[in-house]
Structure 1
């Protein structure tokens, strides 16, 4: 038992240091994201090649699609609700970063220094202009290290390929994500057409628990790269979930798991691993092990009544998340 606990502790700590989070999105959503990204890149290639063939773009402009668009496709189709994926972040991030990269190439002779200043300057500019888009850093770097093809374009690089690529991939993102009601892109569009929540919000005293947040995240069925508005919406879902799922344990039974229903570092799940057979109340004790949260993998012993006062409800582990007993994953997603 001690060996298993040690292995569990090491694995948990390693996962935390590496930043490995559980992904709650469905297989359907993952496949839709992959399909959307593939279609976007195909459309950008096809449209620019047609423009080249029709003479709308100078044939010498062979650098007609930039690699950073692949990274943008990941954000627009895998994280369409994220702040980094919104239209201004996409357009502003690429255009401003490209401009800074071109200026650095023109003014700084040492390419290594120019590359560093370009990426650093792009990050700062995106911060202040509220258009942080990680692929923009790659665009700034391309403007400095792209070679003669990019250098010959000069500031025309902003129009072809940057602006044309941005407009094409944005058009595909708007059309493709619009086919699926739950994929809100841009995210503000989803807020405008979404019906107002009818649940009463006045006089609420229901405490939000860790399990309610887990259920709300599963209900989203999307990779969560959350904005302030998105967090508010998630909190609202968690409140509704708490109000319709208030459960308190009537009995403390050996072998079952219980949660204290708190949030963050105070949240904890304990399993009753053994109990005494002595008559209550003074000798009626339980032995428990902490399975998750505060004091994970610790063991303890206390009176059954003390444990009951600590526990708020019984929980079970489903799909890597602790859920209130009797609640299925499908119920949490509705």
Structure 2
């Protein structure tokens, strides 16, 4: 039953969130400040009924600007271009095909296409294009004036608040180009930036992460792995170790014995392969060789193998 539940969560896309409680609260506070400013400005220049539609669209932008301020979908060009281009497409569709049953769908579809080619994918833009068609006579009467008041006006307000608010917290950055990065992140040994770029192109899908951010994540992960590398003293009887290799090269070994060290010879270890390549086989090697082969200690769990300390792995075994 637990496995079925975990499978369902995986299919639904539910996953663990590494952000702190403080970060979540800051995101909510930023959105509150931004939407408050947008609400005031919108009601200042527009009737209340029309303003409700605009705030609904801008609220979706606030989620991106303050929950993921570093993401490509949240950057100024994505917000500005995505909102204005989508509004332009929506207004044009309404002007050319007023009250047609397929006009709303056409407006959103063409807005997505335009944002793709203009490199300003911004999901709330789809809501803006739809608003231009279905919001009613109050929005229709504005025509192309809707581009400037309220869309451009509201985009300007929310971008200004995003820059000012996120600048109060050193670990947040907006726009992402203002982040202080003295050195360009480099990928781990054996990988070049061109390799990562090639892999991204093979996916042939829009990935909501900047290329430099991806390099930085990989570099930080590699540094953490290097700091956690095992030594000969970390090889314990009964503990399990993974070589951390991808695909068919992955393997799990369990230490079954540490024979007494003979004078003049290197310490040796006896192991069996529990999973992965050569599963079920046995072998022996020098302790130093196993420490060099192993990337980290692991212990079995209901979801597979979980990384842990050598002592925890020894106790689990």
Q: TM-score band (shorter)?
A: 0.7 to 0.9
DSSP-derived class of the 1:258 partner: strand
Deviations 1:179-220 (A, max 9, x none): 111111100000xx33337x9x7xx98579xxxxxxxxxxxx
Shift of 1:46: 2.2
Aligned-pair CA distance for 1:39: 1.5
Q: 1:37 aligns with which of 17, 31, 36?
A: 31
Q: Is the 2:64–2:74 Cα contact (8 Å) retained in structure 1?
A: yes
Instruction: Give matches, 1:246-285, under 5 Å.
Output: 246-248=229-231, 251=235, 253-254=237-238, 256-263=239-246, 265=247, 270=252, 272=254
Of 120, 123, 146, 2:135 maps to 146
Match of 1:301 in 2: 280
- Verify the 8 A CA contact 1:66 1:162 in the aligned structure 2: no
Q: Any conservation in 1 of the 2:188–2:219 contact (CA below 8 Å)?
A: no
> C-alpha displacement at 1:322, in angstroms?
5.1
Could you tell me which runs of 5 or more consecutive residues in structure 1 were left unpaired when the two chains were aligned.
Answer: 1-5, 52-56, 209-223, 327-334
CA contact (8 A) 2:41 2:154 kept: no
Conservation of the 8 A alpha-carbon contact between 1:82 and 1:227 = yes
Q: How far apart are residue 45 of structure 1 and its match? A: 1.0
1:214-264 deviations in Å (ceiling 9; x for gaps) = xxxxxxxxxx9421111122222233334433325653532x44222224x
1:194 aligns with 2:220: no
8 Å contact from structure 1 (residues 248, 314) kept in 2: no
Q: Identify the residue that residue 233 of structure 1 maps to in structure 2.
A: 216
TM-superposed CA distance for 1:276, in Å, is: 8.5
> When the two structures are aligned, how many residues end up with a matched partner?
279
Q: Structure 2 vs 1, CA of residues 59 and 169 (structure 1 numbering), >3 Å: closer, same or farther?
A: same
Q: Residue 59 of structure 2 corresponds to which residue in structure 1?
A: 70
Aligned twin of 1:18: 12
1:46 equivalent in alignment to 2:55: no
Deviation at 1:323, TM superposition (A): 4.9
The one-character-per-residue Cα deviations of 1:41-76 (angstroms, maximum 9, x if unpaired) are 111112333x3xxxxx35588436331111111100
Encode CA deviations 1:266-314: one digit per residue, 9 max, x unaligned: 6858585x958999xxxx66474x6xxx79xxx9533153894863322
Q: Distance in 2 between matches of 1:232 and 1:128?
A: 25
The normalised TM-score by structure 2 is 0.74
- Check whether the contact 1:316–1:324 (CA below 8 A) recurs between aligned residues: yes
Residue-by-residue CA offset, 1:14-56 (whole Å, 9 max, x unaligned): 333222232111111111111111211111112333x3xxxxx
Task: Identify the range of structure 1 (26-35 vs 16-25) with the bigger mean alpha-carbon deviation.
Answer: 16-25
* Structure 2 gap ranges (5+): 192-206, 261-269, 311-317
Cα RMSD of the aligned pairs, angstroms, is 3.8
The 5-angstrom pairing of residues 173-192 of structure 1 reads: 173-190=162-179
**Contact 2:245 2:251 survives alignment (8 Å):** no
Paired position in structure 1 for 2:267: none
Contact 1:95-1:163 within 8 A present in 2 as well: yes
Matched, 1:159 2:124: no
What's the TM-score once normalised by structure 1's chain length? 0.70
| Distance (whole Å) between structure 2 residues aligned to residue 62 and residue 109 of structure 1 | 18
Cα distance in 2 for partners of 1:271, 1:74 equals 46
By relative contact order (CA 8 Å, sep 6+), the higher-ranking structure is 1
